[in-house]
Chain A
């Protein structure tokens, strides 16, 4: 590979620093401790470089070579749109047609990303909003559905967790409804609410509801009886018992449920946008596919990933505020 040819010293140096080659070279000095040493960032950067280079090389196409082709053939190809003729009379592959030939390389995606980010805040038309708007739409759609589902699920979950009989009575419904893909609800929701905007939010809602509901009920139900005993001896009122003891006590379990709901809702929001044609990052991926712009599709996938990471880190910060160690 080119990396080995061009920069063998640096590559070896990076790998040695990252602890990848250390074992064989320094076996005599350093005993095997079973603990990996090194900087994970270096390994990450190394892997990214290898991946990008591999991607680049795998999607590289040689420049158009007119050798062995007659003038008629070239004219025919130009007429067909396969090649274009520059002002100086040389031929090159038609860049428009190149877009849908094979998978685009990293440079094409980078160019597309530049273009999209450059007009991130521009609305070109009803269905052509800049990427910043699309992210905003997706995040707010996700936020509305997830928050509503969380409130409903936590309130219901607390009631079910506090009342074993009620929990047993309702549990069969939860068990049946939980495994249903939120997207399966979509036609019914669309038919009943008759509005794609609300349908998309409701799909996120359905995706986020069940995991939080089930784990909240479980967390409240399995809260250590001692805490409730203390609350009972101290004669705490129902409300005080709820927000001083039950909710904080069950918080780690509830957070786990919210985390599962969070992932499930994030997975649901993309196909919901695709199917409903609601503007957003999921929609972007689909519309670029309709445009046969594969670089755009890859860019959209990357944006979905970035939005996920953003939302996830925000969630983790919130979660850290309410968890405790036993």
Chain B
């Protein structure tokens, strides 16, 4: 059994007209290995953030569920930390307090000195030394998300859930923070589930990219293995022969509105029945 498994999960919302339910996604099954970095890309409304919230335990699936280390996920917990798109830092707390709140919760037995040392270590890791006593209002978007990453990594969760973490950060800063994320992840090797719109970001960071078809009734259309060896850097990966193949394939999928699955593109797609997503590898 996989480390983290989303098992035949479906989500329905009551429709606006009040007649029946709208199916956001249906029968989604994703198997993720320990230490794997998996990214989901799809158009808005395909339910990818909902899927992430279901793994986090912040929402419940209408059918199916999530299994982590052989146990079903019920409700949120410290083993699955989210990095939010809008940072979700407490504006009334300083940088230090925001991270310390998480550390104290994760390690309730620690002395204040241990907590402080741990918090300062992660503040240094994201290069925010000197900004400990600042409040989030005084920080730029990039710095805010560095705090968000530090908070998430500091509690050493089994699964890290990244919900479009760099969507609100300007393009230049985004690249820098992506590489910082790679470094931190290399050290910790958490299992990561990321949701994004950014194809380049997905290729740079992930082991596998899941492409979701359009909603309603979205599902995982294809799974692409990113066959670019690590360590990767933004500069080097674009030289790799698979980079543009993967990139073009993903964009083709998204542009075709993801209605037909497994046809076209450059990879060796193989159909695996109606509901099984096609596995695409480049070699």
Interface residues of A (CB under 8 A from B): 224, 226-227, 229-230, 232-236, 244-245, 248-249, 251, 324-326
Known interface pairs A226-B84, A324-B135, A326-B137; A234-B92 also in contact (CB < 8 Å): no
Residue contacts A-B, CB under 8 angstroms, 15 given:
A229-B84, A229-B88, A230-B90, A233-B56, A233-B57, A233-B76, A233-B80, A233-B82, A234-B78, A235-B76, A235-B78, A236-B105, A324-B91, A325-B137, A326-B91
A244 CA to B100 CA, complexed, in Å: 12
1/0 per position for B121-138, CB-CB distance to A under 8 A? 000000000000001010
Question: Contacting A324 at CB < 8 Å: which of B56, B78, B82, B137?
Answer: B137
The A-B contact count (CB < 8 A) is: 58
Is there an interface contact between A227 and B105, defined as CB atoms closer than 8 Å? Answer: no
Residues of A within 8 A of B135 (CB): 324-325
Q: Are A233 and B90 in contact (CB under 8 A)?
A: no
When the two chains form the complex, which single residue of A227, A232, A235, A325 contacts B90, counting CB atoms closer than 8 Å? Answer: A227
Contacts of B93 in A (CB 8 A): 248
Once bound together, how far apart are the Cα atoms of A235 and B80, in whole Å? 11
B residues within 8 A CB of A229?
56, 58, 76, 82, 84, 88
Query: Would you call B149 an interface residue if the criterion is a C-beta within 8 Å of the partner chain's C-beta atoms?
Result: no
**For residue A230, which residues in chain B have a CB less than 8 angstroms away from its CB?**
82, 84, 88, 90
| B90 close to A245 (CB less than 8 A) | yes
Closest B residue to A324 using CB positions? B92
How far, in Å, is A48 (CB) from chain B's closest CB? 39
Q: Are B76 and A232 in contact (CB under 8 A)?
A: yes
Indicate whether B86 reaches chain A with its CB closer than 8 angstroms.
Answer: yes
- On chain A, the residues within 8 Å of B251 by CB distance are none
Which residue of A224, A233, A325 is within 8 Å of B77 (Cβ)?
A233
The winner among B76, B77, B93 for most chain A CB atoms within 10 A is: B76
Are A235 and B58 in contact, with the CB atoms below 8 A? no
A249 touches B92 (CB 8 A): yes
Partner of B102, one of A234, A249, A251, A324: A234
Answer whether A233 and B81 are a contact pair too, CB < 8 Å, given A226-B86, A324-B135, A324-B137: yes
Interface residue tally for chain B (C-beta within 8 Å): 24
With an 8 A cutoff between CB atoms, is B101 at the interface? yes
Which 6 residue pairs spanning A and B have beta carbons closest together?
Answer: A226-B88, A234-B105, A324-B92, A232-B76, A325-B137, A248-B92
Query: Which residue of B is nearest A232, CB measured?
Result: B76
Q: Is B75 an interface residue (CB 8 A)?
A: yes
Residues on B facing A (Cβ under 8 Å)? 56-58, 75-78, 80-82, 84, 86, 88, 90-93, 101-102, 105-106, 135, 137, 155
B224 CB → nearest A CB, Å: 29
In the bound complex, residues from chain B placing their C-beta under 8 Å from that of A234 are: 78, 101-102, 105-106, 155
Interface centre among B78, B81, B92, B105 (most CB of A within 10 A): B92
When distances are taken between beta carbons in the complex, the residues of chain A under 8 Å from B155 are 234
Alpha-carbon separation in the docked complex, A251 to B91 (Å): 11
Q: Are B58 and A232 in contact (CB under 8 A)?
A: yes
CB of A244 within 8 A of CB of B77, answer no
Chain A neighbourhood of B56, CB < 8 A: 229, 233
For B59, the closest partner residue in chain A by CB is A229
Chain A residues whose CB sits within 8 angstroms of the CB of B105 once the complex forms: 234-236
A226-B86, A233-B76 known, 20 other contacts, Cβ within 8 Å: A224-B88, A227-B88, A227-B90, A229-B56, A230-B88, A232-B57, A232-B75, A233-B58, A234-B102, A234-B106, A234-B155, A235-B77, A235-B105, A236-B101, A236-B105, A249-B92, A324-B92, A325-B91, A325-B135, A325-B137
Is B81 touching A248 in the complex (CB atoms < 8 A)? Answer: no
Task: Give the chain B neighbours of A325 by CB distance below 8 A.
Answer: 91, 135, 137
Q: Which residue of B lies closest to A230 (CB)?
A: B88
B161 closest partner in A (C-beta): A233
Q: Are B78 and A233 in contact (CB-based, < 8 A)?
A: yes
Q: Which residue of A lies closest to B102 (CB)?
A: A234
Taken together as a complex, chains A and B put the C-alpha atoms of A224 and B76 apart, in Å, by: 17
C-alpha gap A2/B271 in the complex (Å): 99
Docked pose: A245 CA to B90 CA in angstroms:
8
Residue of A nearest to B137 (CB): A325
Q: Whole-angstrom distance from the CB of B81 to the nearest CB of chain A?
A: 6
Residue of B nearest to A240 (CB): B105
The answer to whether A248 and B90 touch across the interface, beta carbons within 8 angstroms, is yes
Which residues of chain A are within 8 angstroms of B88 by Cβ–Cβ distance?
A: 224, 226-227, 229-230
A315 to B75, CA, bound (A): 41
CA distance A60 to B77 in the complex (A): 79
Q: Which residue of A lies closest to B148 (CB)?
A: A230
